[in-house]
Structure 1
Amino acid sequence: MIFELLQEQLFQLALIAALLVGLCAPAVGTFIVQRRLALLGDGIGHVALTGVALGFLTGSAPVLTAVLVSVAGAVAIELVRARGRTSGDVALALLFYGGIAGGVMLMAIAPGGSNAKLNSYLFGAIASVTPQDIWVIAALAVAVIGVVVIFGRELFVLCQDEEMARASGLPVRFLSLLIAVTAALTVVIAMRVVGLLLVSALMVIPVATSQQLTRGFRTTMVLAMVFGVLASVGGLLASTVSTKVPPGAAIVLLALAGFVLALGVGKLLRRGRSEESRVSSRMRVEEVA
């Protein structure tokens, strides 16, 4: 059955989109989670909805306007968080409300807008991904992975301790904006796969899952990307087998199931390491005695 699916162009396009999103979202999410900005993806997702609606209103490509508005929103979040008197969570909340309200309002008055089109961006429509969508998603994915590879070390230092990064001479403001902009691009990449309302889940849950099993930052990122790909492909297959299963929801639910499983396995691993440590300590005491 899988071999037959691979012969169909629609499934091929959906699979490529799922793989790219499964790789990019957890990679960026690792930095976001480490910096305690897990809701950043949600905030940008709501702003991106305004960008999509603006595309319908102006008759331009919704993906292009979503990129522009998302990047502007991400920069605004970071500037308000860094310079303003408003805390980061309040800044995100303001963008939540403004983004969703602006999107709904613009979609209502847009001549090409409709509830069906709005839902395809809110909840994803991976089955309707076109070759043009794939080229855009691939280009944005290359940009995101490029940032992670080139600036990964500096971003790691920033996420660990902003003051230490500043003392080390790193361009903290630039790196902070870079994380925000990269998150915005990731949201646009994933909106056709899991939807704007669920995109943050794919940025956060695989990272949280990986953290249950490993400690190192790089290992956490790689393992999170593996979990992201598994959840994305698994959700796509589930929605293909049963047309009643929405792919975006299936992807997120599979990611959550993986987290629950990793939570149990992680406890067993920690218990085993603790037992080994006690045995080792006891043996050293006996040797000294």
Structure 2
Amino acid sequence: MAFFDTLTAMLASPLMQRGLIVAVLVGISAPVMGTYLVQRRLALLGDGIGHVALTGVAMGWLAGSAAGLTPHDLQAVPGAVIAAVFGAVLIELVREKGKTSEDVALALLFYGGIAGGVLLIGLAGGTAANLTGYLFGSISTVTELDVWLTAALAVLILTIGLMLRRALFALSHDEEFTRATGLPIRTLNILVAVLAALTVSVSMRVVGVLLVSALMIVPVAIAQLTARSFRATMATAMTVGALVCVTGLSITYFHLLSPGATIVVLAIGVYAVVALLRPLRRRPAEDSDPHLDAEDDVRLHENT
């Protein structure tokens, strides 16, 4: 009875209600873009964008400080979105022109983003400690404004990510074939980068910029162990993402733990369990590429 009383109290708490709503939205939307990034072998792109988003947070605070305002998410989140989108588009253009390798471009985002964030927050009159909530997540401070911002960005990510699934699948699976079909390669590449940036901006309140990539990638990695098509991988990853976010947040209500770290460790734990159990249920005939969605591939060829 004590457990159910505590559970009821948790669900009745406005703070937990807001946190659970944000957790579900992030858990569903983050793996959508993660599926495309994993397919394109750009799993670490989320980390690079996250570090740039940290600079955007500090820029928002600096702008607010210059205007005589108290640092608040109202300035921080838009700054993070702008900086993340700029960084994502920049790295995509650098990758396209081939002037430097992807790992070097990502490294520049990593180091420049963290250094820029710490430097700018100092100019805004704050300290590096002010960035802790964005580094590791701070879902306990989620406000109604955060819920609405998260909902708006999540709906945008899901709408574009799901409606353009066939085109983005083709781009991720075979870029040369996609080019031959006449689809706008550059536009689609930049669109993926922008959506990844928006995903990072949405997720940083839950797990923080240092762990945001894990929420985008680990559910997809779990789904790949069981799913046999691109569509099934995405659907399974969305389900897993929502479940680990809600479960991890609920655990932190009963125990004083970091929500972001708890969610990520829980997701990795699920991956380990599924990986261990997979050989017990797998038959040789099931040895197929989890990325491949034959139905989508056939339809795309039929339309050329």
**How is 1:145-160 mapped onto 2 (pairs within 5 angstroms)?**
145-160=158-173
**Is 1:229 aligned to 2:239, yes or no?**
no
2:260 counterpart (248, 252, 264): 248
Which entry has the higher C-alpha Rg, 1 or 2? 1
Measure how far apart 1:90 and its partner are: 1.2
In the alignment, is the contact (CA less than 8 A) between 1:231 and 1:251 conserved in 2?
Answer: yes
Q: Distance in 1 between matches of 2:15 and 2:253?
A: 11
**How is 1:1-289 mapped onto 2 (pairs within 5 angstroms)?**
1-59=6-64, 61-111=75-125, 113-243=126-256, 245-270=257-282, 273-274=283-284
Measure how far apart 1:275 and its partner are: 8.2
> Quick one: which amino acid aligns to residue 257 of structure 1?
G
Measure how far apart 1:82 and its partner are: 0.4
In the alignment, is the contact (CA less than 8 A) between 1:213 and 1:265 conserved in 2?
Answer: no
Aligned to 2:296: none
Measure how far apart 1:87 and its partner are: 1.2
> Quick one: which amino acid aligns to residue 62 of structure 1?
A
Say which SS state the counterpart of residue 100 (structure 2) adopts. coil
| Structure 1 pair 93–5 and aligned structure 2 pair: CA distance change class (3 A) | same
Measure how far apart 1:117 and its partner are: 2.5
Aligned to 1:280: none
| Structure 1 pair 9–165 and aligned structure 2 pair: CA distance change class (3 A) | same
Measure how far apart 1:4 and its partner are: 1.8
> Quick one: which amino acid aligns to residue 77 of structure 1?
I
Q: How many residues align?
A: 273
Q: Distance in 1 between matches of 2:286 and 2:159?
A: 41
In the alignment, is the contact (CA less than 8 A) between 1:141 and 1:189 conserved in 2?
Answer: yes
> Quick one: which amino acid aligns to residue 117 of structure 2?
G
Measure how far apart 1:116 and its partner are: 3.6
Q: Could you tell me the TM-score, scaled by structure 1's length?
A: 0.92
Measure how far apart 1:274 and its partner are: 2.3
Q: Could you tell me the TM-score, scaled by structure 2's length?
A: 0.87
Measure how far apart 1:88 and its partner are: 1.2
Q: Distance in 1 between matches of 2:36 and 2:127?
A: 36
Q: Distance in 1 between matches of 2:8 and 2:192?
A: 39
Q: Distance in 1 between matches of 2:205 and 2:82?
A: 16
Measure how far apart 1:276 and its partner are: 9.6
Identity %: 54
Measure how far apart 1:176 and its partner are: 0.5
> Quick one: which amino acid aligns to residue 262 of structure 1?
V
Measure how far apart 1:149 and its partner are: 1.9
Measure how far apart 1:35 and its partner are: 0.5
Q: Distance in 2 between matches of 1:267 and 1:254?
A: 21
Give per-residue Cα distances to partners, 1:35-54, cap 9 Å, x unaligned.
10000000000000000000
Q: Distance in 2 between matches of 1:142 and 1:258?
A: 27
Q: Distance in 1 between matches of 2:91 and 2:225?
A: 29
Give per-residue Cα distances to partners, 1:221-267, cap 9 Å, x unaligned.
01011111111011101111012x11000000000001001112222
Unaligned runs of 5+ in 2: 1-5, 65-73, 288-304
Q: Distance in 1 between matches of 2:8 and 2:252?
A: 16
